[in-house]
Chain A
Amino acid sequence: MIGEGLTIRGLRVSFDGYTAVDGVDLDVHPGDLRFLIGPNGAGKTTLVDAVTGLVKATGSVRFGTDEGDGTELIGKPVHKIARLGIGRTFQTATVFEELTVLQNLDIAAGAGRGPLTMLRRRKGVPDAVAKALETTGLTELRDRPAGVLAHGQKQWLEIGMLLVQDVRLLLLDEPVAGMSHEEREATGELLQRVSEDSRRTVVVIEHDMDFMRAFARSVTVLHAGKVLSEGTVAEVQADPKVQEVYLGRARDEESTAPAAAGPPGEKPTPTPTASAQEA
């Protein structure tokens, strides 16, 4: 079904001879909430980087909407890819710290504005921005500089920025890393709400297996730059290849993972990035 959702064929990314993504095929359809999991170094973030034009890649990445056939993304500059309705977040929330929440969202909403609009002062709150404020629950904080927001709120703001962009493909890189339990719940619900719109395709990179099991509609497991397994949460958990990868890893890390014998979802996730971000 080329032309609907994200279609990746034979994607390959290498850095100085090291192949980070090694021939990945992937299809994600609108309305899906796809989780991309895999051990560190599996190529998850690089895959997203390649889709959004941040790193050079070979192969084919197409993204189609209901309005038209998929356009080839490989070779396009970052901002042009973004204008096709593809948005992403980063492991570390990057919002414009010196601007207010409202200003952040307004900028996200305005990529297509003409020069005259740009040179004028913003009047009131655009509808899309008001709606995103509501969806993300940030209405109260809209005049706060984004730099003083709590970690979870920044992630929500980032997602809000993707919403006002009217993004059709959301690529979220570890959105709940470093969040408290309540924040995770709230984020998960937010993601479900967002992906209920059948025009949207959501891809989430995640380490947190509890979070994945609670909210994923489908899962792809990457390992060493290749797709290892794909299916529903239950299917993937039952896949012996997946178990082996995670068991193999767990054996090396016995000290940190005493419950290694269980299925991957029960494995405690040692994520250094997450702990670093809590500061």
Chain B
Amino acid sequence: MSGLSFSRRGLLAAASAVGASAALSACGAKTGSGTSSDAAGATADTSGSTVKIGLLNSLSGTMAISEVTVHNALLLAVKEINAAGGVLGKKLKAVSQDGASDWPTFAEKAESLIKEDKVAATFGCWTSASRKAVKPVFEKYKSLLFYPVQYEGLEQSPYIFYIGATTNQQIVPALDYLKKQGLTRLYLVGSDYVFPRTANKIIKAYAKANGMTVVGEDYAPLGSTEFSTIVNEVKGSGADAVFNTLNGDSNVAFFKEYKSAGLTAKSMPVLSVSIAEEEVKSIGTQYLEGQLTAWNYYETTPGAANEKFVKAYQAEYGATKPTSDPMEAAYISVYLWKAMVEKAGSFDVAKVKAAADGITFDAPEGKVTVDGATQHVYKTARIGKIGSDGLITEVWNSGKPIKPDPYLKGYDWASGLS
């Protein structure tokens, strides 16, 4: 019968194919043999009059809300640099790929940018998960990624430049501030993913060493919008302040519930590390007025560089559009890369990396300096208070740029963390 003859043929084809693959795999490198690394490196195409750079952001899906603003800031920087003559005499051509808020897609698109578009460098990613997904790709092809968002630290890939804050430039200063205010009993509320969990680990270690108490710790699934139980627990905990690492939509529900429970910025302030100007707009100042945030940049940060940035951004995208920390970091990441390339006199990845140390830039957030050893950036920490107009104004800053320390090696209390 046809069914049988069909299966037999299927098996034959399969057998021959398995044979073929076995033959092929015989040529493939074994792990640790080191033969593969020479083959895998990708070369950027810098031969023409333009140089391609990759922009890798989620333009669709749940993360698009935040990542589109970063994408816009990147495009603005590219436009300005091209207007000023480009990099090493070549105009930049931005190739945008949509990570679609999906980590495997990020990996696929990263590979596409490197292999198909032969970009000189890539800018983007927001979530830690997307960064973790693309990290092996950039390492495999020895191509550069500039990552613009504050993150949980504990990472140092040779092919990633971390332009956002690491923990000792955001979390630790925020704790210093709270301690100074006498707010020593903390309640930790976060979304259930890497950043909040790592941040809270650090907070607990800090608290232990600094005579502070963590009275409670709760995690809500990403996207969760039901906070009555958590707020109830917070209310009954007798904490001085809440350290909030919630992400996205959850913040809206959390703060609405928080206010409904009768908790205020006066009675129990909330210090948030993921709420920037854009988020303030969508939560509503009704619920946020007086609450605290920790970043390295605010739209209100004084200085000529920031005035110019805000003006240029609003001219490009609309007068009501706020600027925020990740956008600013994305914006300066392109300028920092440009400075590295110009110092190296080449687009070659190895040379660019070698030139990175000590590069400075007069950024909207103030002066920033690249630390070549960690491939992070010296940044000034700033605590802000949310005003009734939706803007965040600085109430404290670290005075000078803080040296990046992604593994918190310079802090004794953090020795057991990693």
Contact = CB atoms under 8 A, between A and B. Distances in A.
A complexed with B? yes
Interface of A: 120-121, 123
**Which label, helix, strand, loop or mixed, suits the secondary structure of the B interface?**
helix
Contacts of B4: 121
Contacts, number: 5
5 contacts: A120-B3, A121-B1, A121-B3, A121-B4, A123-B1
Nearest to B1: A121
Contacts of A120: 3
Interface of B: 1, 3-4
**Which label, helix, strand, loop or mixed, suits the secondary structure of the A interface?**
loop
A123 B3 CA distance: 11
A123 B1 CA distance: 8
A53 B1 CA distance: 40
Contacts of B3: 120-121
Nearest to A124: B1
Nearest to B4: A121
B53 to A, nearest CB: 56
B402 to A, nearest CB: 68
The 5 closest A-B pairs by CB, nearest first: A121-B3, A121-B1, A123-B1, A121-B4, A120-B3
Nearest to B2: A121
A121 B7 CA distance: 12
Contacts of B1: 121, 123
A124 to B, nearest CB: 10
A120 B4 CA distance: 9
B56 to A, nearest CB: 48
A105 B4 CA distance: 23
Nearest to A122: B1
A121 B1 CA distance: 8
Nearest to B3: A121
A121 B4 CA distance: 9
A92 to B, nearest CB: 34
A100 to B, nearest CB: 17
B154 to A, nearest CB: 52
Nearest to A123: B1
A123 B4 CA distance: 11
A120 B3 CA distance: 9
Nearest to A120: B3
A223 to B, nearest CB: 55
A76 to B, nearest CB: 36
A121 B6 CA distance: 12
A122 to B, nearest CB: 9
Contacts of A121: 1, 3-4
B32 to A, nearest CB: 44
A121 to B, nearest CB: 4
A120 B6 CA distance: 13
B370 to A, nearest CB: 65
A109 to B, nearest CB: 19
B193 to A, nearest CB: 45
A271 B3 CA distance: 49
B9 to A, nearest CB: 15
A103 to B, nearest CB: 15
A121 B2 CA distance: 9
Contacts of A123: 1
A204 to B, nearest CB: 40
